[in-house]
Amino acid sequence: MDGFRGISSHKGGQMNRAFPLGLLLLGLVGLPLLHSQERDRRTPLTEMTATDRYHGEDGGLYGDGQNRPPTAHLKAFAIESAKIQPLGSTGQQESAGKIVLLSISMSNATQEFSVFKRLADADAAKAPTVVIVDGAQGGQAMAEWVDPKARPWEVANQRLKSFGVTPEQVQVVWIKLANKGPRGLLEQHGKKLQRDTQAVIQNAKARFPNLRLAFLSSRIYGGYATNALNPEPFAYESAFAARWLIKEQIQGEIALNFDAKKGAVKAPLLLWGPYLWADGTTPRKSDGLVWKREDLANDGTHPSTSGREKVAHLLLDFFKTDPLSKSWFTGEKR
């Protein structure tokens, strides 16, 4: 029967083979199945349009298919960025002071950011006033930073001290969003990641009073993972938690207020840092980024040497050339 098992119907006293079962099932459930496949198809957020949908979410880092901040947020960035100046140890403006860029996150982030620091410190484009400190730590994902008295914050302070800088000199942070062993649908694990990261952002602002900018990045590709630490689709979906936070700040969420004119300041200005996800060996349209198996360690989750180099170069390129960062990172005049 050409690969189909038919179903019988009774007509005129005879049993007729009316419809192939496969065609009937396609008619009954084909559209929902196609819809499910469409919503689960993972495309880089930067390549999704305003009409594309993934579990109800449209495309673009900032939503509505846009990969640049809306005009009002760009104006706010210009104001906050202009406040970034070399500061002395107690936070006073000082020509011989420092601008500290600190990372906050887990093992992947410290592995990647430490390579970025090495590359950036050797790059003549980096302003000598910029001090890069890797505050990210193994095993310390967003949930572990939620308690403002948690050990990761103390370790970060110790690392600042080791580089001869203070919490008052921290003006920019890079936060990579992830939690260990996420479960459930995007609405479940994504919202938890959003809540945890919001707490981390608020803690950072409380600890670093001169913090002006926070650049957010989501995970690299997790399709080679051999354990449940942070595989797909969770790695891909971490981007939506970052976007929700930024969009809520743009919409005036009080808990993420960065403007003293609008009330108590609870957070720095939030912006996207480099977007790190690509669909395995399928090249990203914008830059050809791919994630090969050899770019990940044995567990398929942590970056290998080549993976760390990829992220480090993406970070360096972003901070050197992106209009959202290059002015203070390179010392270029605005």
Write the pLDDT tens digit of every residue in 141-165: 999 999 999 999 999 999 999 999 9
Instruction: Report d(CA 160, CA 181) in Å as an integer.
Output: 29
pLDDT (0 to 100) of residue 333 = 59
Whether residue 115 lies inside any domain: the answer is yes
Distance between CA 150 and CA 160 in Å, rounded?
Answer: 16
In the chain, the number of structural domains is 1
Average pLDDT estimate for 125-131: 98
Mean pLDDT of all residues in 56-64: 97
Q: How many CB atoms lie within 10 A of CB 225?
A: 18
- Residue 61 to residue 213: CA distance in whole angstroms: 17
Q: For 192-214, what is each residue's pLDDT tens digit?
A: 999 999 999 999 999 999 999 99
In a domain, 17, yes or no: no
Looking at residues 16-32, what average pLDDT do you find?
A: 37
Main-chain phi, psi angles of 251, to 5 degrees: -80, 0
Does residue 320 belong to any structural domain of this protein? yes
The enclosing domain of 234 has a CATH number of: 3.40.50.1110
How far, CA to CA in Å, does 250 sit from each of 213, 256, 270, 273?
Answer: 14, 9, 9, 16
Q: Is residue 7 in some structural domain?
A: no
Query: Taking the C-alpha atoms of 170, 62, 192 and 258 in order, what is their torsion angle to the nearest 10 degrees?
Result: 40
- Is residue 218, in this structure, part of any structural domain at all? yes
The predicted model gives 172-192 an average pLDDT of 98
Average pLDDT of the residues of the chain: 90
Residue 32 lies in a domain: no
Whether 38 is in a domain gets the answer: no
How large is the angle between the packed helices 191-207 and 151-162, nearest 10 degrees? Answer: 50
On whether the CB atoms of residues 55 and 39 are closer than 8 A, the answer is yes
Q: What is the mean pLDDT of residues 109-114?
A: 98
pLDDT exceeds 60 at position 67: yes
Encode pLDDT of 307-326 as tens digits: 999 999 999 999 999 999 99
Domain that includes residue 102, residue range: 68-330
